[in-house]
Structure 1
């Protein structure tokens, strides 16, 4: 459960409710801190290979950096695309044929649909950069406990367990070089879910870690506490999750009840005491944090974690248990805790805990010294098509006969998404440079460029589209910056790329031309290049009274401030309009599309109309 960012009054109320719900637990809970010994080499259950019978597929992939990607997966069970971000393993670039184990990091109660809290609230992205695992970060699932709900609620159809254990793994293994060796950890709600998912799917995860999780969900008072938290975090009805608290589903999702099923899984449990700790802003009362809600929630976590640990001991299941002497329900403590758990996670996954030694020298060393913001090296130098490369904590350096250049950030992501040095862009020919307008940044490559702005993101531009965009003045021209990557037109040979003010189209028969603004909108209404107009034959051309037109294979679109944008197709009406001087003649601008009339068709103009009946053309002033 992520700490609510609310007013002090709400925090006090939440704290009071949480503490009130704690009191019935105290009498029956074991509160002595028990240090259960960790398993040095946990017994490995047979791996579970998930089936994708429901047919999940990838809707979209966005490369955010060279080793952080956002993947949208069409979930048949939930009926919507689910975003999953992946922090790619340290050797992802260096060893393109290798596959890697995965660490899944689950979010808290207030998970958003934008970004997983582990990257939004902690330094996980840079800290895991030198770890040789793919870190899997589900995005969304507010108040879900990452479970399959009995019914829809609050506009959500939650089937998270099905998604995580059946639909997602085959995509990770097929597309993202991930093995079936997995670990899972989470904070608060995510800590509860980590233990529950591991217990309900024996062998699926080799490690399960709970940081401030609620590890006894069906005991006296806990369904009510969870229900209050779910209402506070998104207005969800707890009954829609696992039904009535006395029902079997609550027990079937209770880590305490399921504890025996965790045999053979490497386990890690931690919680604070609820007292103000090193990462808190203390109040005027000694030992009391100003994070009042965080205090109450952490006490609930501590009590249920102790109860859970006691049962593990009775069952003879080893685990690492850390009861911290202070600390409340807050991200600063969970950032600390995942780093403490990492050596055990690494052992369970079969990877080294620390990165191998690497050194920097030669041309790459000079570039690294000049760009200290890249951080430390993660790999040794290695060969890439056309040269050499080396990975650093926040980017890469490439060297070739085109020089030695840094590629990083969102531009590095766009570059990697196109295959990096082995892809269509080839090796870099410049470092990252500023654009004269002060808004954008770019890197040049042998076969194109990648531009970035805060508003448009990073996109490559290359080939004939780059040539025409450059001829028109780059970002200073009529199109502005790229909004989309170049894609092939689906039904006819050609390509299109979206820009801020329109799009650039290419076809072998018509060349490369921009379609802009309102003319672009009208073009879309006709079906783009698959409609009657086909591909553009010209860029936009200025005509009288501040008007514009673009010529297409099958006709033209004219626009003026007074009349708007209209299509006039090649044929007898166009020929008649041409015969009287186009927009400069007696008819003026087009004011409608062609439309049917009895026996023929008609098109209207500012000062008249043209009809075609039985092949006869008539101009009516």
Structure 2
């Protein structure tokens, strides 16, 4: 059936298609917790989005991973992880750490897997007592019970973990580390609210949650007199943080180098950011004082200026990294590497790749080397070629050189219409546009698509990779303006427009018409087709 394939990013019949077996592309698994990976989307060669059906929340949760520097060069290795928690205005599209900072490029040379939960606006990453705004938030259960088996079983992640959060995420980083003793070796709060029960704090949290999505804090932890508030208060849980490497930072609400001026010295026009950072400073000081009284060491950084904004959190991430790296047992700086030969020539001609992250290493049938913003592959027949970005993600997800596409035979090129980009491979091509994403076209479907004029033909760009037809031998691939079917008996033909709609009504290839025998013919009499 093509209907689901055309509207679902998961392939025919809405079912996620497992990547070909390859060390670089883990397959979907059933976690012991019963959380299930329902879809995998490779966004680049080392950034991947997982959609995980959460039993506790009853809905798919997106988690993105930034894979460790040595993911490709050392396919047997497992890695520590850094969990990055978002702020109160977290969106369902992307974690703020990748949307608002340079965390993706910064972690490219770090030998850790970075775990980026997506969503959870106003949730404080906790288990709520009631639903609100259609959300059944059970984030603590998801993060500490459902997600770890998936990471450990399928994504080469060990049990050495650190957590860093900003604002709401900073509060959560501390109480999650305290409530789940031994789960995190490091906890970092950047501008977090580190007391939740002191005078006025429940009311301040309620106001902030109402402003960020219209949530009610009573659905989270009940009325302020409910003991759940105390059970999520980092200040009251401080003793349970003994043995965790701690980092606490905040500004002071005075306008700093990244803040829009108001015309009054030291005062920014970002009044909300000013107030929130003052609140963070006060609660962070109270929390740090408690740690000191308990004899629990912590790195505490009070910036001389700065508001509640991403530029400061990006700065603090780089300041805390040496402490975080030490707690996870990884090196602070990447090992030295160099480039040479054909791969060196290709990287030199594409300086945007950035610095090398690894030495050259063997892949099936050739060599490869990783760079900050992509990879270079070498094969005696294809030469040295660059693959990067979303195209690199699709290639990685299909198994790289060991997969059906083989080695790249060109670098990335622009398409004639100016909309898209492409790479050619030994056994196919990958095309990308911002609207359609990156998708491979190969075999008989590529031959027919090429005959019709590639992306300039009647079908436009691919919107899905090729998938098997579910009930009969064959394959189908969705394009912007139709679908291409392949049958071993009838060949490869496209169906589009109103004819495609009628074909769907009749049951696609499983209906009375079966597979198409020709592509659309026309115009015929009276302008028909």
Which category of TM-score, normalised to the shorter sequence, fits these structures? over 0.9
For residue 109 of structure 1, what is the aligned residue in structure 2? Answer: 88
Post-superposition offset of 1:448: 0.6
Corresponding position: 1:434 with 2:434? no
Q: Which residue of the other structure, out of 469, 482, 490, is the alignment partner of 1:510? A: 490
Which structure is higher in RCO with an 8 Å CA cutoff and minimum separation 6?
Answer: 2
Corresponding position: 1:537 with 2:517? yes
Q: Distance in 2 between matches of 1:273 and 1:315?
A: 25
Post-superposition offset of 1:53: 5.5
8 Å Cα contact 2:32/2:149 also seen in 1 = no
8 Å Cα contact 1:54/1:77 also seen in 2 = no
Q: Distance in 2 between matches of 1:533 and 1:177?
A: 47
For residue 159 of structure 2, what is the aligned residue in structure 1? Answer: 180
TM-score (norm 1): 0.79
For residue 55 of structure 2, what is the aligned residue in structure 1? Answer: 76
Corresponding position: 1:460 with 2:469? no
Post-superposition offset of 1:283: 2.4
Q: Which residue of the other structure, out of 342, 350, 353, is the alignment partner of 2:332? A: 353
Q: Higher mean Cα deviation, 227-236 or 467-476?
A: 467-476
Number of residues paired by the alignment?
498
SS of 2:290 mapped into structure 1: helix
RMSD over equivalenced CA pairs, Å: 1.3
1:542-578 residue CA offsets vs partner (Å, 9 max, x unmatched):
2322222xxxxxxxxxxxxxxxxxxxxxxxxxxxxxx
Uncovered stretches (5+) of structure 2, i.e. residues with no partner? 1-29
Q: Distance in 2 between matches of 1:158 and 1:292?
A: 30
For residue 450 of structure 2, what is the aligned residue in structure 1? Answer: 470
For residue 464 of structure 2, what is the aligned residue in structure 1? Answer: 484
Alignment of 1:290-369 (within 5 A): 290-369=269-348
Q: Which residue of the other structure, out of 48, 54, 70, is the alignment partner of 1:91? A: 70
Corresponding position: 1:447 with 2:427? yes
Q: Distance in 2 between matches of 1:230 and 1:437?
A: 46
SS of 1:541 mapped into structure 2: coil
Q: Distance in 1 between matches of 2:129 and 2:512?
A: 50
Post-superposition offset of 1:178: 1.0
SS of 1:225 mapped into structure 2: helix
Which has the greater radius of gyration? Answer: 1
Q: Distance in 2 between matches of 1:223 and 1:240?
A: 13
Corresponding position: 1:278 with 2:252? no
Post-superposition offset of 1:281: 2.5
Q: Higher mean Cα deviation, 443-452 or 95-104?
A: 95-104
Corresponding position: 1:165 with 2:144? yes
TM-score (norm 2): 0.92
For residue 207 of structure 1, what is the aligned residue in structure 2? Answer: 186
Q: Distance in 2 between matches of 1:419 and 1:101?
A: 24
For residue 129 of structure 1, what is the aligned residue in structure 2? Answer: 108
Q: Distance in 1 between matches of 2:258 and 2:425?
A: 45
Q: Distance in 1 between matches of 2:499 and 2:326?
A: 60
8 Å Cα contact 1:389/1:396 also seen in 2 = yes
1:181-225 residue CA offsets vs partner (Å, 9 max, x unmatched):
111010000000001111111111111100000000011100000
Q: Distance in 1 between matches of 2:298 and 2:42?
A: 37
